[in-house]
Amino acid sequence: MKSSTIYQEWLDSLPPTEGYLKNEQSIGRKFLLEKGMPSKKDEAWRLSNFSKLNNFLSLPTIIDKEDIKSIFPAKDANRERIIIHPNKNPLNINLPNGIEHLNKREIEDNLGKIVKSTNIKNDISVCLNQASSLELLALKVKRNFNQSLEIVIPSIEGKSISTRILLLIEEGAKLDLLQILTGNNNSAQNHLIEIKLESKVELTHGLISLGEEKDSSSICTLAVEQSEKSKYSLHSIHHGWDYARYEPRIIQREGEASTIIKGLQVTKSKEQIATHSLIRFEGPNGKLDQLQKAVASEYSHCIFNGSIEVPQKAQKTEAAQLSRNLLLSKRARIDTKPELEIVADDVRCTHGATVSQLQDEELFYLLSRGIDNKHANSLLLKGYYDEVISHLPKSAGKWNFIEKLMQDIKK
């Protein structure tokens, strides 16, 4: 079937616009109708595997209540868990002390604004979500509170789901947020989260995105707006998706904030996982430490596009971006592209990219101590992952992501 037909059929399959997201749904659908499918001509989609994107759009979007059957590891005692079921009103959930639902006005004032301010042309990932999300989880962490939260978004076998979150973190509050996205057989999920950090907020954000099952795909957009003196750290893992596209976008609204992003994407078989990041400084003295790691084996493909924008008003920005990649097979492919747009003259911005294989001398050192080849390779890979995964909360280990990352090692 032609891409344009699949696209049209996907749009036609959506239920009529309704509810409090009606306006958003209309905006998304209108855009998609006018722009059509992304193509190789769109720079941001140039390397995307369109047949995999077609699979994404070919799955039915209507979800019955019986569809949701997932078993999860027990939740932590000190971390409330929210499981997002699409099509189900998320108001009826337990919220920890200091976290509340946003009221209608707060939603109207903020929804869509953060992601829109990232100014991405032909923002297809976001419009696909806007067009199809029927419910919204909208929360705020109240001023000066310090809380932890786990948000789980499971995919549904044979279906395509769309989920959306809006999170406001009020001045001086601290949040330790762990987000888990999981795949299922022949499933697709599109997730959009917007987060606003008021001044002096500290947000530690772990994102564990595990495809696991056969033919699962994911499109995930994360838009974060940081006010001055806020600290945001994001550590993410993407693994096991046949097709995944991850777009973290962070705007330091006034500069004077600190951002740490460390991402790991691991592909095998014929998978394709892409990260398109954007960080923009709209004021002086902003700090960024970005590390993107990729490991590609067999016939798989990892993509990283890292944009950093430092306009004239963002003097004394200090930004460092590093893309480190491991190619574990001759047939695997890695594309990595830093894109630094620096207009301000008094800044310190560095970037670098490396593509290598596991180091022979490191391997020999381990072998020479009696450690067998397979175990030595797995120790080295674990060491390679460590820079990213060691920052995730310890309790995240119950999602077995380390075991899953290690499973792929071929002897």
Partner 1 sequence: MISSTSETILSIEDLHASVEDQEILHGVNLVVKEGEIHAIMGRNGSGKSTLSKVIAGHPSYKVLSGSIQFKGIDILELEPEERARIGIFLGFQYPVEIPGVSNLEFLRVATNSRRKELLKSELDTFEFEDLVKERLKIVEMDPAFLERSVNEGFSGGEKKRNEILQMALLEPFISILDETDSGLDIDALRIVASGINRLSQPNSATILITHYQRLLNEITPDFVHIMADGKIIKTGNKELAIDLEKSGYDFIDKNSKEKEMAK
Q: Interface with partner 1 by CB under 8 A: which residues?
A: 360-362, 364-373, 375-376, 379-380, 382-387, 390
Supply the minimum distance, in Å, between the C-beta of residue 207 and partner 1: 20
Supply the minimum distance, in Å, between the C-beta of residue 375 and partner 1: 6
Q: 107 to each of 62, 102, 253, 334, how far by Cα in Å? A: 25, 6, 20, 40
Supply the minimum distance, in Å, between the C-beta of residue 366 and partner 1: 7
Q: Is 120 helix (H, G, I), strand (E, B) or coil?
A: coil
Supply the minimum distance, in Å, between the C-beta of residue 42 and partner 1: 36
Supply the minimum distance, in Å, between the C-beta of residue 369 and partner 1: 4
357 contacts: CB under 8 Å, gap ≥ 6: 326, 327, 328
**Tokens describing residue 331:** 């047939």
Residue (260 or 379) nearer to partner 1, CB: 379
Residue (95 or 371) nearer to partner 1, CB: 371
Supply the minimum distance, in Å, between the C-beta of residue 302 and partner 1: 19
CA dihedral 142, 147, 150, 151 (to 10 degrees): 10
Strand partners, 309: 280, 341
Residue (349 or 402) nearer to partner 1, CB: 402
Residue (51 or 364) nearer to partner 1, CB: 364
Q: 119 to each of 108, 221, 280, 309, 383, how far by Cα in Å? A: 19, 13, 10, 12, 37
| 3-state helix/strand/coil string of 319-356 | EEEEEEEEECCCCCEEEEEEEEEECCCCCEEEEEEEEE
Residue (139 or 381) nearer to partner 1, CB: 381
Counting Cα atoms < 13 Å in the Cβ hemisphere of 42 gives 16
Residue (127 or 389) nearer to partner 1, CB: 389
